[in-house]
Amino acid sequence: MEFSATDKVLVNPLRVKSETIWELEACLLLFDMGSSRLSSTIIAEQSKNVSKGQEAIEAMHALKVQAIQMKEALLTGQLLKLGEILAFGWEQKKRMALGISNPHIEDIYHNAQKAGATGGKVSGAGGASHVVLPRHHLLQRC
């Protein structure tokens, strides 16, 4: 994704090496939270917060930075950086609306960190559903 100063976004397919894709597929863990939520409520709160508050706007700009960091890590095969990039994005995303995280998600996320994960991402709008975590002990081969 490329972000312009006029807030336009251009999406280009990345030419990631096959070896990097295989390593990434082998090293990601998808954790089912066992619950669901109404994402439209969270998205509506995010939109409201962006229209009225500086913190949500700053978080959105930080997520643009995260997208660039992720692109660079994937293109250069630096998969060990994925956890910290995902952790940075997770912290920014939580700044956008209260319903993005909850005590259950935070507990799972912190337990994953205790077990060695350096970061992760809640899928979708947040609030529940799934968490993606890189399994770093497998990424040591990169």
What is the pLDDT confidence band of residue 62, given thresholds at 50, 70 and 90? very high
Q: Which CATH architecture has domain 18-139?
A: 2-Layer Sandwich (3.30)
pTM: 0.76
d(CA 101, CA 90): 9
Sign of the dihedral through C-alpha 45, 28, 77, 115: positive
3-state secondary structure 49-94: HHHHCHHHHHHHHHHHHHHHHHHHHHHHCCHHHHHHHHHHHHHHHH
Contact 134, 31 (CB under 8 A): no
What ranges do the domains of the chain cover? 18-139
pLDDT reported for residue 16: 93
Least confident of 41-50, 59-68, 78-87, 107-116: 41-50
pLDDT reported for residue 73: 94
Secondary structure letter of residue 100 according to DSSP = G
* Paired tokens of 138: 């497998």
Q: pLDDT per residue over 121-141, tens digit each?
A: 887 655 567 788 887 654 444
